[in-house]
Amino acid sequence: MFSTVAIDEIVDEFEFLGDWEEQCRYLIELGESLPDLEPGEKIEENRVHGCMSRVWFIPSLHEEQGQKRIYIRAKSDARIVDGLICVLLSLCNGRTPEEILATDFRGVFQRLGLETHLVPQRRNGLFSMLGRILSIAEHARDGGLAAAASQETPDELAHDATGPKANGAATLPVSGSEAEPRQRPLDVQAVRADFPILKETLPSGKPIIFLDTAASAQKPQVVIDRESEVYQHYYANAYRGVYQFGDRVSRELEISREKIQRFVGAEHSEEIIFTSGTTMSINLVAHAWGRKFLKEGDEILLTEMEHHANLVPWQIVARETGAVLRFIPLTDDGQLDLSRLDEVVSPRTRIAAITAMSNVLGTVPPLAEIRRKVKAVGALLLVDGAQSVPHLPTNVVSQGFDFLAFSGHKLYGPSGVGVLYGRRELLDAMDPFLTGGHMVARVFRDHAEYAPLPAKFEAGTIPIAQAIALGTAVDYVSDLGLCAIHEYEQNLLRYAQQRVAEVPGLKILGPSPEHKGAIISFVMEGAAAQDIAQLLDLRGLCVRHGHHCTMPLHDQLCIPASVRASFGIYNTREDADALVDGLHFVRKQLKL
């Protein structure tokens, strides 16, 4: 068993060294003492996701003098992370679950200065490792020795833990890969201070109450500064020259790509393709995969609430290949009618392209159940994450996504950049969607050889500064924590929907708050959607009106248009109150 350095010794050494550069060297020296794991132990089931580097934990439970004690063997592919692992192991190895859960990890981190000096992505990784340790301790405390050895994690989060047992001890369960460490609640006032546009006023002098985040989110100062920094200090075309100045751009892009890889839980960084946004990402799959692999009679499964960007590309590909579009119908309250899933899933289903959150109804479909059904017939699953990724934790591996598309501008990042995640074997099998420039390895007179992933699907010059700043947006959101964001937004949604429902003559579209994200779309009897939005604008309220790129959905609802108020991390109950006051103002102006 690896003998850990006592935490008091580590703290004393940190205090003696004083300088962060020297402390980093000490962490590296600590990491060099960490034994390696066997190659067979460095498997996905033992990975700790959310870390900048690859990290593996092998926990075990020992009975010593009538008490359960936890031991963890761990390793990463970076020596400074190995040093951080040594710090964590010094605080948990050989201790009981109760002792671990009572340990003031954050206090030790503060004494060592880790929260101050670690870059955001590495700090996030530290807390991801801590989250895994706390989960291990909770399982051991609650389940006992036998239960801890046999308990399985939920199917939606992780596969069974299969790591080898140490010294005959029981192997503890591994928590879900997207489980986050216990995070502080969202401090909305601190968040609002990060967004300079919220300090602006309209020409009338009224403050801006922005309720259109589902269309495009506002940007925190760190993202604005990051994009500006690229243009001011080291802009050059990427992946072209070998000169040092341009090489920094290439390195920063790959750092951003790796941040996004960890953010969505992808296994390989080359599975992250930079695109112009969700629309381009879905078109890429529809044309590069659909045109090649779909044939006459094959079926494409969609829902009745899809955005045009996840409908029209499949219409075109279906027309060209002879494939057939099938739709999961909706219930009266705007949820997917899973009782009819067997009617639309068949052995001919080849791909399901499903939104993870409706941009109109806010509906969050039960993707796990849909995934199981389509996987049973050998179909692929593409998830439109434009609305979900900024608001819900996402892990493409544990959730079983084959493709995931999302946009930077909805994730509090720049416009003009988005992401396609695709499983590596699927991307390898696909032909390029766009050609020219960076996506070729060798070109002859009559044919070309394509570059390996991800370059194969990144023709031309990608949005360089925007892609780098997207990595900063990912850092920002990760630092706040997706679980904390989701909890805050759901509390706000429940409050706002209850208040909005009190307005006479108003009908809210879609399900109740527990089945949807932070979106409230509605119609008002006797009022056109455009009139409502125009009058709310007089009160400084920014809402969206129209069909929201979902004409078939509005046709099914028998309405020409709707009004949508969508909330983000910077919105407050006061914003919801202002919306309700504004709706009463609308009724008064329209004499309703």
Q: Which residues are catalytic?
A: 549
| Cα-based distances in Å from 299 to 234, 374, 517 | 48, 11, 29
**How remote is the C-alpha of 89 from its chain's centroid?**
29
Strands 55-64 and 170-171: antiparallel
Torsion angle of the four alpha carbons 372, 378, 384, 385, in this order, in degrees rounded to the nearest 10: 50
Specify whether the CB–CB gap between 566 and 324 falls below 8 A.
no
The whole-angstrom separation of Cα 153 and Cα 435 is 43
Specify whether the CB–CB gap between 226 and 468 falls below 8 A.
yes
- The DSSP string of 394-450 is --TTTTT-SEEEEESGGGTS-SS-EEEEE-HHHHHHSPPSS-SGGGEEEE-SS-EEE
Q: Residue 301 in 3-state DSSP? A: strand
The residue type at 211: L
Rg (CA), the chain: 26
Residue 514, C-beta contacts closer than 8 angstroms, at least 6 positions apart: none
The whole-angstrom separation of Cα 49 and Cα 395 is 9
Residue 76 host element (H or E) = strand 67-76
Specify whether the CB–CB gap between 267 and 319 falls below 8 A.
no
The whole-angstrom separation of Cα 308 and Cα 351 is 17
Q: 406 phi and psi, to 5 degrees?
A: -155, 165
b/e per residue, 115-137, with b = 16+ CB within 10 A? eeebebbbbbbbbbbbbbbbbbb
Residue 274 host element (H or E) = strand 272-275
